[in-house]
Structure 1
Amino acid sequence: MPSLFRIGGYLVFFWSNENGEPIHVHVAKGKPSPNATKIWLTRSGQCIVANNTGRIPQSDLNELMDIISAQFFLICRKWKEHFCVEEIQFFC
């Protein structure tokens, strides 16, 4: 499970077994958790919240999504490296 970066007290990461899902990240307070919030990346470089099971407050979530969008190319590169794929599937 690769950790990508920290934003404040939040960890942005991938789970290692994503079963061919489109590119996304998980965000959890402190350390990885099965109840982490899931955020899809879109082809245009934006983010869509798949679920907020981590119950991240909306103001924090908005800031996190802005930063995740700004790190789009880094996340895509890390996704390709970790999952050994040439092309990335996007949610939309």
Structure 2
Amino acid sequence: MPNLFTILGYKVYFWSNENDEPIHVHISKGIPSKNAAKIWLTRNGGCILDSNPERIPRKDLSELLEIVQAQFFMICTAWKKHFKVEQIKFYC
């Protein structure tokens, strides 16, 4: 499970067994867990919140979404490298 970066005390990462899904990241405070927020990346460089079972506060979540969007190309590059794919599937 690659940790992409840590910001505001939250880890942004991939689960290693999800390469059949469209590109997305998980975000959690502290140790990664299945209660992490899930964010889809979109073809146009944006991102969409799928779920927030960790209940990240709205203010933090807004900042995290902006950061994920700003790191779009880095995340796409890391996805291709980690999952050994040439083409990325996007949520939309």
TM-score (norm 2): 0.97
Aligned partner of 1:34 in structure 2 is 34
What are the ranges of 5 or more consecutive residues in structure 1 without an aligned counterpart? none
The C-alpha deviation readout for 1:39-68, integer Å capped at 9, x for no partner, is 000011111001001110111100000000
Q: What count of residue pairs does the alignment treat as equivalent? A: 92
How far is the alpha carbon of 1:19 from its aligned partner? 5.0
The C-alpha deviation readout for 1:21-50, integer Å capped at 9, x for no partner, is 000000000120111000000011111001
Report the secondary structure of 1:16's partner residue.
Answer: coil
Large movers: runs of 4+ above 4 Å: none
Report the secondary structure of 1:59's partner residue.
Answer: helix
Matching of residue 74 in structure 1 with residue 69 in structure 2: no
Matching of residue 4 in structure 1 with residue 4 in structure 2: yes
CA RMSD in angstroms, aligned pairs only? 0.7
Percent of aligned positions with the same letter in both sequences?
64
TM-score (norm 1): 0.97
How far is the alpha carbon of 1:90 from its aligned partner? 0.2
Separation in 1, partners of 2:63, 2:45: 15
Listed as ranges, the matches of 1:1-92 within 5 Å are 1-92=1-92
